[in-house]
Amino acid sequence: MNLQTNIQWDIDLIKRHDKSGPRYTSYPTAVQFLPGFDSEQYLQARLSSHKQDEGLSLYVHIPFCAHVCYYCACNKVITKRREKAEPYLKALFKEIELRAQGYDDKRTVDQLHFGGGTPTFLNNEQMSRLMNKLAEHFNLSAAQNRDFSIEIDPRELENDTLAHLKSIGFNRVSLGVQDVDPAVQKAVNRVQPLEMTKATLDQARALDFKSINIDLIYGLPLQSRSGFQKTLQHIIDLSPDRISVFNYAHLPERFMPQRRIQTEDLPNPETKLGMLQDSIQMLTQAGYIYIGMDHFAKPNDSLAQAQQAGKLHRNFQGYTTHPDCDLVALGVSSISQIGHSYMQNSADIEVYQSQLEQGVLPINKGLTLTDEDELRQAVIKQLICHFNLSFCDIEKRFHIDPQTHFAKELANLENFEQDGLLSVSSQGIQVHDKGILLIRSICMVFDEYLTRPDQGIRYSKVI
């Protein structure tokens, strides 16, 4: 794949193929997880994992936020009472002890991510204790190429927070910004002056963090196309290593904070499409590589390099450079991927803490993949990361004839092919430049669960 993709913008094609669908941070997706998955099934998944000779990836969920952002759909606890972190940390430390049992010390943790919520809700002393606890029970890498990242809210930082995070091992940070327009910030209850964002980024650079990401969202209340262009230019001027531009999905019936957003203040679909078009055009012209979906990276960033080398992967943290190793997720609502199984902790913090107090892992649902799930997972992951699929590779790996096995799916791709979004040959599938924006729609053709009776699940729009 060429390092710089020439995204072709065709509004008629986008409208024709735009639909609601999964983001495919996993397949099957989390909505397919079943209740009743328990600690015993987790144990079996760990013992039977086919990834025993590989490293580990860790995710830690810190759910607390001092302020509610109205657009947010994350699992969180809104409180200004910092003491609430202590009982949670006690439970989290117990989970670390229980989860670490049975993993060989030789399995190095090369990828670690703290998400939330607001991980920097924890103070320096609490953060040190947490990292020390992880290091006590897991083999945390000290290599230069490790990816130890943490999500940052610039409004929640003390003067020495970033320096402390660097000192305890973090080398990547991700800053939530969303929009720099004060009116938009006020409408979503996230007032964060541009000067604050710049100061945080400058400090991270001075501390030699090896990668800095900035998150933006288009489709927020009071946003306009011209206003978002200004936001994009400000962020381009800041020159972070990676930029994520997410589509705001307004689902107030599912996420209570979104009920504070006035529907009439939201930009219409045409304006949203314009903001996405401007994002792609401005960021690629500024030298960023379009990785896929909503991710951009500088050419020398490891994400762009991994995609160029055909080694890009995708998991619950989005696109990643690390192989598909076992992912041990810790904290309320977190999702682990161990061997051929997914399992999710309870999303209720009281239940989470109570079960760990009793010495029980707080797993409440999950799924063990079938052979068919594994096959379709491989197809979707290859398409969403690299925009192509080799039938030969699939045949060798799964001992099937892809053209026979996926005859129905390949027939359903004909509309995409007729519109010039992709080509299907005897060798495989090649997504063209004008089809890259619609990769989620293309992947949905191979999603067996979407053909089953509607369960009332609502997804965000592909574009």
Please say whether the beta carbons of 385 and 123 come within 8 A.
no
Q: What are the C-alpha distances in Å from 197 to residues 123, 146, 179, 180, 241? A: 20, 25, 11, 9, 15
Span 32-327 CATH architecture: 2-Layer Sandwich (3.30)
User: Would you kindly state where each structural domain of the chain is located, as residue ranges?
Assistant: 1-28+370-463, 32-327
How confident is the model at residue 454, as a pLDDT?
62
For residues 62-79, b (16+ Cβ closer than 10 Å) or e, as one string? Answer: bbbbeeebbbbebbbbee
Return the DSSP state at 127: H
Q: pLDDT tens digits, residue range 240-298?
A: 999 999 999 898 988 899 999 999 999 998 899 899 999 999 999 999 999 988 899 99
Q: What are the C-alpha distances in Å from 108 to residues 57, 58, 104, 147, 367? A: 9, 10, 9, 12, 26
CA atoms within 13 Å, Cβ hemisphere of 428: 16
pLDDT tens by residue, the chain, 463 residues: 444 556 777 788 888 887 778 888 889 998 999 998 988 899 999 998 988 888 899 999 999 999 999 999 888 899 988 888 999 999 999 999 999 998 988 899 999 999 999 999 999 999 999 999 999 999 999 999 899 999 999 999 999 999 999 999 999 999 999 999 999 999 999 999 999 999 999 999 999 999 999 999 999 999 999 999 999 999 999 999 999 999 998 989 888 999 999 999 999 988 998 999 999 999 999 999 999 888 999 999 999 998 888 888 887 777 888 777 899 999 999 999 999 999 999 999 999 999 999 999 999 999 999 999 999 999 999 999 999 999 999 999 999 999 999 999 999 999 999 999 999 999 999 999 889 889 999 999 999 999 877 655 666 666 6
Q: Which residue has the tokens 């000290």?
A: 142
Q: Which two tokens stand for residue 448?
A: 């067996």
* CB neighbourhood size of 263 (10 A): 10
Span 1-28+370-463 CATH architecture: Orthogonal Bundle (1.10)
DSSP E strand boundaries for 201-251: 211-218, 242-247
How confident is the model at residue 2, as a pLDDT?
46
How confident is the model at residue 318, as a pLDDT?
78
How confident is the model at residue 19, as a pLDDT?
79
